[in-house]
Structure 1
């Protein structure tokens, strides 16, 4: 049986108090913290604390402490320094996010193994006020409260499963499916345009699944609109397109021989698990137009960019600033935030980066992936496994290799497009426990493009990263013990 993600019922959400725990320290500066779950699966969850300074003076540092019940532990964390004693956890700021100006905010996140929630919280020594509440708490004046983003995949009853075996049946199901229903693909090849704008909900996501099913879109066709949007007479050529369709779970099937593989536009909480995407003209998977709080894991991506190599990314998070006019639907920015890319296999012959993290996106996790860099083309500056232009990403526990042919400069790179003091793209990211084999071709495992542009939020490269067969070494930046 496939392992289910996001598996907490709405009733359990209410009873467990997942609406956010507001923590307020009374001493000036007044730092508050709000806990939420950004995602939930059957054996754990992703958690986040949002900290805000509601006082009149800047905070120089912060510390958040809490306990987890027996059977639950923190498996990874980001944008913080974690220590623990038994079931007691302490998180302190990094060098980049300790200072919170009056009215400013910051935060950190973690993944938990187990479903137990934090209790006994304190921030800067002040008690949280009773741990996790059982009802929606009242937010004190001036305290930032983060809306929970819990997702649920209760198995639908048999009557809620729509079984399809032809292109026409699949297209009809994509156009009429309701929250909580599952579209089950029979094994076989489906050729056509596959688009949905049907929305699931946190309590009742929509599932598309099918082992042995292959989706192929032979498009594009017709005159495209100025910005990609479902338009009569135009076939995008996308293998599967979620448009204004949040809370979809995709699993088991393959997408190939399409212009793009899977595109999520304004479709947050998209979960992709165990999907294969290969032999596509451009990128394989694109989380676009603020499709935040999404996840791709246990999937295989190869042979991308067959027509436009410079746009043949494996997974593309957000959009370049030059495209925000079309895709910047969150205050003019494409906020594809808090996306997790976990345990996937990338390559060979991904023509651009395996993962391209675009400017304006924040707080994602790239963990436990395998990168085979053979076949990267170097076109459009695509010459690394991962290019990070976002802020506050954790890149950990990945394994990367490179063998010819291909154009390969560095394993991981950062860039700082459109950086201003208030918007430090390409800063505040963390690398740890990554293993890199540069094949005697790559210069550095981790190349930090600029230190000066990230003085307020420096990138951190930990000594736990390792490299072999590098022309120059592990990194061009200072190494953090």
Structure 2
């Protein structure tokens, strides 16, 4: 009976079509896609070449660490993948892992954004990439050092930026709630000294059309600049706090004013046009060469009248050595414009080597 059944089924089995096999190319493509998914899911991605770094940045996922090997990485490195509060993305490496952008090249758009065959020249650019951690590595020989656009909650820790054409680190386009700490910035403004700020917070009102929120300011608010060494040969301000920003902290930094250029009114360690900043426990020195007017200054741009620009800031515990050249340690440009929210200079600030004194406004105890 069993033999008869099998004999009867045999013609049917022979007539049935064979199961379709995928083409060889499809198998290879599936394997590559699977390998890419595994790479994207890896907790740690080791990179040792510029191509590997560019690929890792493009495929980064929350919670991942991209770890740089020692060596120089030449290219246009852009991060556009967001991390999360619970799972930030980390880019880390030793100090001798060095990012270099040999650009810029191509036709720049009217408002900077990645793509279109344009190389910004930035050493590292985070664009709409919140919740990243950048630690340990170096950026040099680029147009700008590290630029953050629409990238809030980014921590830059122990990074060295030097020998760049313009500014060192820029929190831009409402990159709020960031931190720059324990980092070093030297030799900025090699091509445009007046735009060679060490740290740049926000954007000038004239650039809000590109870098402001829709119809408003660049609200790169509540950025903390803590424990950094900035200078020597930072050609513009060591920290430039732009109008429309507020609530930041500048604390425990060391400013070496040697080499400040004086171009584009760059003649102080810190220029404060924002409001509600606390500037405390910093140490600043100046020695030639360079052009130096005052240690800290405030300004009140009239181009943005809806903001109390340069108001409501507090200085305390800062130590200033003006090298016998600078006028005031802390010069408050206007008191009448800040009557509703005055600037405060506390008596815990000290100064040596000033031609005029600690400050040009009454000192508040504390």
TM-score, scaled relative to structure 1: 0.67
State the 1:418 CA deviation.
2.3
Q: Which of 309, 313, 336 in structure 2 is aligned with 1:425?
A: 309
Change in CA separation of 1:178 and 1:370 when aligned onto 2, cut-off 3 Å:
same
Whether 2:307 is the aligned partner of 1:399: answer no
Alpha carbons 1:290, 1:330 under 8 Å: kept: no
SS at match of 1:322: helix
Whether 2:45 is the aligned partner of 1:174: answer no
State the 1:420 CA deviation.
6.9
Whether 2:302 is the aligned partner of 1:453: answer no
Cα shift readout 1:380-405 (whole Å, capped 9, x = no counterpart): 00000000000000000000000000
* Counterpart residue number, 2:90: 207
Cα shift readout 1:64-92 (whole Å, capped 9, x = no counterpart): xxxxxxxxxxxxxxxxxxxxxxxxxxxxx
Alpha carbons 1:237, 1:260 under 8 Å: kept: yes
CA distance in 2, matches of 1:289, 1:414: 22
Count how many residue pairs are aligned between Structure 1 and Structure 2.
324
Cα shift readout 1:150-169 (whole Å, capped 9, x = no counterpart): xxxxxxxx941000000000
State the 1:233 CA deviation.
1.2
Whether 2:246 is the aligned partner of 1:357: answer no
CA distance in 1, matches of 2:261, 2:79: 33
Whether 2:205 is the aligned partner of 1:329: answer no
State the 1:331 CA deviation.
4.3
Change in CA separation of 1:366 and 1:185 when aligned onto 2, cut-off 3 Å:
same
CA distance in 2, matches of 1:469, 1:241: 40
SS at match of 1:324: helix
State the 1:329 CA deviation.
1.6
* Counterpart residue number, 2:324: 440
* Counterpart residue number, 2:263: 379
CA distance in 1, matches of 2:292, 2:324: 10
| Structure 2 unmatched ranges of 5 or more | 1-40
| Structure 1 unmatched ranges of 5 or more | 1-157
* Counterpart residue number, 1:311: 195
Alpha carbons 2:45, 2:67 under 8 Å: kept: yes
More helix by share: 2
Whether 2:107 is the aligned partner of 1:223: answer yes
**Counterpart mapping for 1:65-104 below 5 A:** none
TM-score, scaled relative to structure 2: 0.87
* Counterpart residue number, 2:150: 266
SS at match of 2:139: strand
Q: Which has the larger radius of gyration?
A: 2
Alpha carbons 2:205, 2:304 under 8 Å: kept: no
More strand by share: 1
Alpha carbons 1:171, 1:195 under 8 Å: kept: yes
- The 4+ residue runs of structure 1 with deviation greater than 3 A are 419-422
State the 1:422 CA deviation.
4.5
CA distance in 1, matches of 2:169, 2:343: 26
State the 1:231 CA deviation.
2.3
CA distance in 1, matches of 2:117, 2:106: 6
Cα shift readout 1:353-378 (whole Å, capped 9, x = no counterpart): 00000000000000000000000000
Q: Which of 320, 329, 338 in structure 1 is aligned with 2:204?
A: 320
Change in CA separation of 1:410 and 1:202 when aligned onto 2, cut-off 3 Å:
same
Q: Which of 128, 141, 144 in structure 2 is aligned with 1:257?
A: 141
CA distance in 2, matches of 1:398, 1:330: 35
SS at match of 2:312: coil
Cα shift readout 1:446-478 (whole Å, capped 9, x = no counterpart): 000000000000000000000001000000011
- Give the root-mean-square deviation of aligned CA atoms: 1.1
